[in-house]
Amino acid sequence: MMRFGERLTLLPAALLVLAMFAVPVAFVFAEAIFTPGFSLAHFDRFFSRPVYLSVYLNTLVVSAVVASICLVIGYPMALFIVSQPPARRPLLLFLVLVPLWMSILVRTYAWMVVLGREGIINGALQWAGLTDGPLTLMFTTGAVFVAMVQILLPIMVITCYSIMTEIDPTLVRAARICGASGLAAFRKVFLPLSMEGAITGWSVIFILSMGFFIVPALVGGRRDVLLGNMIVNQVGQANWGFAGALAIILLVSTIVLLGLVRLVMGRFVYSPREAQA
């Protein structure tokens, strides 16, 4: 049990969370319920119109796909960095972190330059004689996936790397000594212990993807509208009540889905600390 003095040390953090999260969410909830008067009309509007449900489903699919692609690419990258000598790891981590220091808006505009009809990719393909004219790469779902994965991939790499460094390498060596092949030792020892980082990274990227609106707005097409874009549009029209309802739906559904993912996947995760204990 924490003593009274120890609990007081948590007071600043609790006040910060209250001021930066709980109070704004309460105001958003109030806008959704009490604008213009007490009513659930904004929520009824969302669930009664197929177009809104379609955008919501598209948001879930895009977020899950982006998080999964980042996992498939980021996990091997983190594994490669961990397998390098300790003196080389800081440089590799620096290269991974460099994109995070740039604005998301700047990186999205960079993808517009790369994927445009007169962009680098189309120019290279035409110069090589592989295409007769420019391909339609911009304003497509593929462009949204590429840009979002490039923006969020470093988060997956860092999350997986932080867990992998906690895994005792002697556990893998012990499995090899007991007769397991390199692949079997990785699959039965290292992979289960590193799944905590993989699931955490997937969850973080899923959360961030659910709220994306800049990338779909700049490089996506009409079919790539996400719930974040709808919220921005409603705010721009000063429709605060419906915007608040959309924000609450986005928040609650994200929390529920992540809770289900953690509940299901938690049965297959072994913490490195538990293994060492």
Which of 21-25, 32-36, 63-67, 194-198 ranks highest by mean pLDDT?
63-67
Output the CA torsion sign for 108, 109, 115, 117. positive
- The mean pLDDT value for 104-113 works out to 90
Residues 178-190, mean pLDDT to the nearest whole number: 80
Please state, in angstroms and rounded to a whole number, the distance separating the CA atoms of residues 200 and 269: 11
pLDDT, one tens digit per residue, over 207-235 is 999 989 889 999 988 888 999 999 999 98
Alpha carbons within 13 A on the beta-carbon side of 159: 22
- Indicate the average pLDDT of the chain: 86
Distance CA 214, CA 111 (A): 12
Q: Tell me, what's the pLDDT at 269?
A: 63
pLDDT of residue 267: 64
How large is the average pLDDT for residues 116-129? 86
Residue 198's identity, in one-letter code, is A
In the structure, what pLDDT confidence band is assigned to residue 137 with cuts at 50, 70 and 90? confident
pLDDT at 100 over 80: yes
Distance CA 67, CA 208 (A): 9
pLDDT of 272 higher than 70: no
Long-range CB contacts for residues 30-39, cutoff 8 Å, separation at least 24: 30/244, 31/240, 31/241, 31/243, 31/244, 32/241, 32/242, 32/244, 32/245, 32/247, 32/248, 35/240, 35/241, 35/244, 36/241
Whether pLDDT at 144 is above 90: yes
Domain 56-272 sits in CATH at 1.10.3720.10
Q: What is the tens place of the pLDDT at every residue in 30-83? A: 888 887 778 888 889 999 999 999 999 999 999 999 999 999 999 999 999 998
Out of 75-89, 177-191, 244-258, least confident range: 177-191
Can you give the pTM of this predicted structure?
Answer: 0.86
